[in-house]
Structure 1
Amino acid sequence: MNVLDMIQKNEGYQIPDEYYTLSTEEMEKRVKDIKARLGDALFIPGHHYQKEEVVVFSDSTGDSLQLAQVAANNKKAKYIVFCGVHFMAETADILTEDEQIVILPDMRAGCSMADMADHHQTDRAWVELQKLFGDTILPLTYVNSTAAIKAFVGRNDGATVTSSNAKKVVSWAFTQKERILFLPDQHLGRNTAFELGVPLEHMAIWNPITDTLEYEGDDLNNIKVILWKGHCSVHENFTVKNIENVRKNHPDMRIIVHPECSREVVAASDDNGSTKYIIDQIEAAPAGSKWAIGTEMNLVQRIIKNHPDKEIISLNPFMCPCLTMNRIDLPHLLWSLENIEKGNIQNIITVDKQTAKDAVKALDKMLELA
């Protein structure tokens, strides 16, 4: 079920207007007071891309899988208020205990990339790809995908990947089958496979809108990587022109980008890696070093704030924060917490048991490899 389906079924995301009349100070005080009263029964994970007004109240910050794992290891918390997006809350629900309740403060907080692959499209694609290639394909999915896609991959003996471990998982996949289907982000799949030595001409794109394989060559047997035609709406907006401008105006700056950026951008940059990798590289860099970072703006601004001894800019100065990540704000967080105390919990994220069981297979395979 994608985010639009969830919204249609649950109108709870429409918080009362009164929350937007409260001062920041009043909302902050209420959140602090509720956190104190609930104590260990409440756990608030906050993704790196969240607004600062939300991150300051997070009990743990990190990337999507890291936060889900931290939530799963927290056996004391009855309520897990996940400040991220829908697929992250799904993963948290899959990995936590049945009695733990996962809440998403705003049901509109989705992920355009995750929603570019639904289970109907994937089932159709799998049938057609089996006709073309037979039983030679292993599916992999980025953790930035819905529970239904993770379950599809698990049922077909594949694995999830993160931007940190993608090379390891893709390398393993090629020991299992001749080809891989990489969902839902074509750029991470392309960049990973290319860095492992797969030529670009041995990659094809599956278009889920037209149900067709897009490939420039003549011999389908040459295809080793089938990339789902999906992307991150934030990272795809970094361009080679952005890099050229930095090279011209800041020739001594080092450019580091996320591998969700296009192949051309990654190739033109000095370095690329996961969110954690980017954070770690800046942390380890000497004072006075200069950086242009190609990733989500909320994180870039936080990195700039945390490293006043370094000169840091966004690779694209006109980049906006992730719109769906930005849905979760202080009013929604406060509303969620007050509803918990009232016993009127809204926006509970629940993954059905069979989907969860199949998705865990894909997650466990990745963790076993990692």
Structure 2
Amino acid sequence: MTSVANLIAAAAETERRTRTMLGDTIAIGQPATMTTTCDSQLTADPWQIDTEPGYGPGASTGDVAPATAPQQKAIPASYTQATDAELHDRIVAAKAQLGDRVKILGHFYQRDEVVKHADFVGDSFMLAQAAKDHPETEAFIFCGVHFMAETADILSSADQAVMLPNLAAGCSMADMATIDQVESAWQQLTEALGTSSGDKAEVIPVTYMNSSAAIKAFCGRNGGIVCTSSNAATVLEWAFERGKRVIFFPDQHLGRNTAKAMGISEDHMPLWRPYLPMGGNTMQQLQDAKVILWNGFCSVHKRFTVAQIDKARADYDDVQVIVHPECPAPVVEAADGVGSTEYIRKAIAAGKPGDVFAVGTEINLVNRLQAQHPEMTIFCLDPVVCPCSTMYRIHPAYLAWVLEEYVAGRVVNQISVDPTVTADAEVALERMLAARP
């Protein structure tokens, strides 16, 4: 057998073994055959479901969580039984006592009762940058999800602590690409295509910020780079200067939308399905590829449809439709504008009284924008609210607990990336920081 044939056989065996281990994967929500694909019942407090592995209420019912996903331990009843007002007062008091020793980083998608306590509010990149820009701070409390706290730990100094109030706050998209899967795909690609052709690499790995520290490190040591939703095009240009093609993970939609906007045909964007030999592609498809797309997605942004845009245009004559680039390509192409959460925020801030915006992104941000701009009409395209369920796991009770523990001299829920991983991941992240649009 040729080396490629051996790889295909090995990949098939890997797929067989993986499928026999599906008992180690936890399905969350209702069966995929259900017509409703989103459980929007967010009334339960997170600690009521933190004892069960998974993404929790609000998650897409098609999401699965790996058995290795971190779980949050129980916190004292003095927090879970406190009223909203009591938690607010405790957070304010702890912050006042800690002063500048601690900074709270709050993602745009967080619930309002958490965001109001944040020292910095932004997307994952902006918050990681805030951690990097404040070496004087002892510790950061990252009100976001696991991969974001990892990135903040990588970019901050070794003597600074990064804490995640609820360890169960993961990311289903990030979980769709594991380091073992990525390493296997890389082995298959390099065996099939080689490593370099002339002065260019055959494949440059590019990972979205929404990925594990291990995958960022993989990119760093293999000539690759990290991208954000705002600089993805600049990053792809960087990659094409150095390689003939790109493998882009884990979000296929951001990769596809960015490449299409650059004039790359979908015929040159095969999908890599990690459980299939050669990702389910032929040798010719891989040789012809410009961007190999990993089969991952955001469950929230995948829900937006062209039909929702059509309805918004039927309901409002002058509606402006703005969507996130994690949405499917037909949705992006039907919209008036596409960009990161920061792009969406700025586009609406530039609007005029009476303007109408239909927005394709997470509901907490959309509702906050409407509250901030009552002179406009701002609504979510999706009538079935499907929020980022793992962001919802950050409750004021957990924030109060982490703060008061730090007041007492204890660091809890620390996210600490192994130094060997940090070194390679920082290479890829610094390349990203230099790739300004």
Aligned twin of 1:352: 418
SS state of the match for residue 46, structure 1? strand
Give the one of 83, 86, 91 matched to 2:151: 91
Aligned twin of 1:284: 350
Aligned twin of 2:309: 243
| Contact 1:3–1:107, Cα closer than 8 Å, also in 2 | no
Compare 242-251 and 304-313 and name the one that shifted more.
Answer: 242-251
| Contact 2:185–2:279, Cα closer than 8 Å, also in 1 | no
The number of equivalent residue pairs is 366
- 2:7 equivalent to 1:7: no
| Contact 2:138–2:161, Cα closer than 8 Å, also in 1 | yes
Aligned twin of 2:27: none
Aligned twin of 2:25: none
Compare 130-139 and 47-56 and name the one that shifted more.
Answer: 130-139
Q: Structure 1 pair 178/343, CA: closer, same or farther in 2 (3 Å)?
A: same
Q: Structure 1 pair 336/219, CA: closer, same or farther in 2 (3 Å)?
A: closer
Per the TM alignment, residue 14 of structure 1 is displaced from its structure 2 partner at its CA by 2.1
Q: Structure 1 pair 81/178, CA: closer, same or farther in 2 (3 Å)?
A: same
Task: Give unpaired runs (5+ residues) of structure 1.
Answer: none
Compare 93-102 and 341-350 and name the one that shifted more.
Answer: 341-350
- 2:83 equivalent to 1:17: no
Q: Structure 1 pair 4/41, CA: closer, same or farther in 2 (3 Å)?
A: farther
Distance, in Å, in 1 between the alignment partners of 2:75 and 2:189 is 44
Question: Superposed, which structure 2 residues align to 1:80-119 within 5 Å?
Answer: 80-119=140-179
Aligned twin of 1:72: 132
TM-score, normalised to structure 2, is 0.81
Task: Give 2:228's aligned amino acid.
Answer: T
Give the one of 303, 316, 321 matched to 1:255: 321
Aligned twin of 2:359: 293
Task: Give 2:300's aligned amino acid.
Answer: V
Question: Superposed, which structure 2 residues align to 1:45-64 within 5 Å?
Answer: 45-64=105-124
Task: Give 1:33's aligned amino acid.
Answer: A
| Contact 1:43–1:80, Cα closer than 8 Å, also in 2 | yes
Distance, in Å, in 2 between the alignment partners of 1:311 and 1:208 is 42
Aligned twin of 2:43: none
Aligned CA-pair RMSD: 1.6
| Contact 2:270–2:286, Cα closer than 8 Å, also in 1 | no
Deviations 1:1-58 (A, max 9, x none): x9853626xxx53222332211111111111111000001011010001010000000
- 2:379 equivalent to 1:332: no
Per the TM alignment, residue 215 of structure 1 is displaced from its structure 2 partner at its CA by 4.8
- 2:196 equivalent to 1:168: no
Task: Give unpaired runs (5+ residues) of structure 2.
Answer: 1-64, 196-201
SS state of the match for residue 136, structure 2? coil
Deviations 1:312-334 (A, max 9, x none): 11011212220001100111101
| Contact 1:139–1:180, Cα closer than 8 Å, also in 2 | yes
Compare 76-85 and 209-218 and name the one that shifted more.
Answer: 209-218
The percent of aligned pairs where both chains have the same amino acid is 46
